[in-house]
Amino acid sequence: MSTGVLDKTLPAPLYHQLLCILKVEIESGKWRPDELLPTERELAGRFGVSLVTVRQAMQALVGLGYVRKQQGRGTFVVPRKFDEGPRELTSFTEEMKRHQLKASSRVLSQAELEANPQVAHALGVALGSPVLVIKRLRLANGEPMGVQTAHIPAHLAPGLLNTDLERSSLYETLRTSYGLYPARARESYLAATADYEAAALLEIALGTPVFAVQRVTKLPNGKPFEFVMSVMRGDRYSIVLELELVKDSSENPALRLVDPA
């Protein structure tokens, strides 16, 4: 089957061929996120198939998460989700660049505060120790992606709060100004729903599913230097884990997670 053309001599159903063509066009960027697709009648005319065939293909695309239907308005391309899972340690800025998106931030608050029990435990510092708390709204091409609150021991980055973190990458600043190089991190994801603050900042409805993420980042010597609490949009992120089949000492097969580190 050539690109963009259905081949009625193939054993593959026409709706499946059409599904594959539309997937390729969406993934290639021909149809942009949130763009209205041609009507079913227009697609039927373009490909020379029945409306039933087009509807089967579109329904499959909905099920795969490529498009969404809005009553009375038509079918729109769904922005692709960012896969999260075992991968290299990167900043949000670097991650968005990998997706060919422009990352930006809006600082919501920043202050030097005393470490509460959760923060003290995560950073391995004494309860009440001074920590720098930087809360930012993270955006990709101007669209809100998540709200991140970073906690850094104050003694590791004196003067950091004087840095314009809306114009500078936090990780790049920590590397160049303070010699703090992230070597490894551990993230945990929990399913949650958006509260009033998160919904307003992320421009989503109250109660929309989100990911509540906690991340502890460590230096090459193994000491933690950053604890981040994030709320990330559930409609823009998906969790991907790589599994492999291994055998234990008794020759019984078992599944285990591939260590991201």
Q: Is the dihedral of CA 73, 76, 79, 83 positive or negative?
A: positive
Q: Which residues contact 235 (CB under 8 A, 6 or more apart)?
A: 79, 81, 204, 208, 209
Mean pLDDT over 124-128 rounds to: 94
Strand, coil or helix: what is 52? helix
Each residue of 69-86: pLDDT tens digit? Answer: 888 888 988 876 554 444
Q: What percent of the chain has pLDDT over 70?
A: 80
Residues 73 and 87 in one domain: no
pLDDT of residue 51: 92
Residue 240: DSSP 8-state: -
Instruction: Report the chain's mean pLDDT, rounded to a whole number.
Output: 81
pLDDT of residue 198: 92
Residues 179 and 62 in one domain: no
Residues 215 and 94 in one domain: yes
Q: What percent of the chain has pLDDT over 90?
A: 32
Residues 19 and 119 in one domain: no
Q: What is the CATH number of the domain that holds 89?
A: 3.40.1410.10
Q: What is the CATH number of the domain that holds 24?
A: 1.10.10.10
**Which one is predicted more confidently, 112 or 90?**
112
23 token code pair = 């997937």
Each residue of 9-59: pLDDT tens digit? Answer: 777 788 888 888 888 788 777 888 888 999 999 999 999 999 999 999 888
pLDDT of residue 116: 94
pLDDT of residue 90: 53
**Is residue 107 included in any domain, yes or no?**
yes
Task: Name the phi and psi angles at 58, rounded to 5.
Answer: -65, -40
**Is residue 255 included in any domain, yes or no?**
no
pLDDT band for 105, please (50, 70, 90 cuts).
confident
Strand, coil or helix: what is 66? coil
pLDDT band for 158, please (50, 70, 90 cuts).
very high
Q: Which range of residues forms the domain containing residue 47?
A: 14-77
Strand, coil or helix: what is 129? coil
Residues 18 and 59 in one domain: yes
Residues 60 and 110 in one domain: no
Mean pLDDT over 201-225 rounds to: 89
Amino acid letter for position 165:
L
Our count of domains for the chain comes to 2
Residues 23 and 47 in one domain: yes
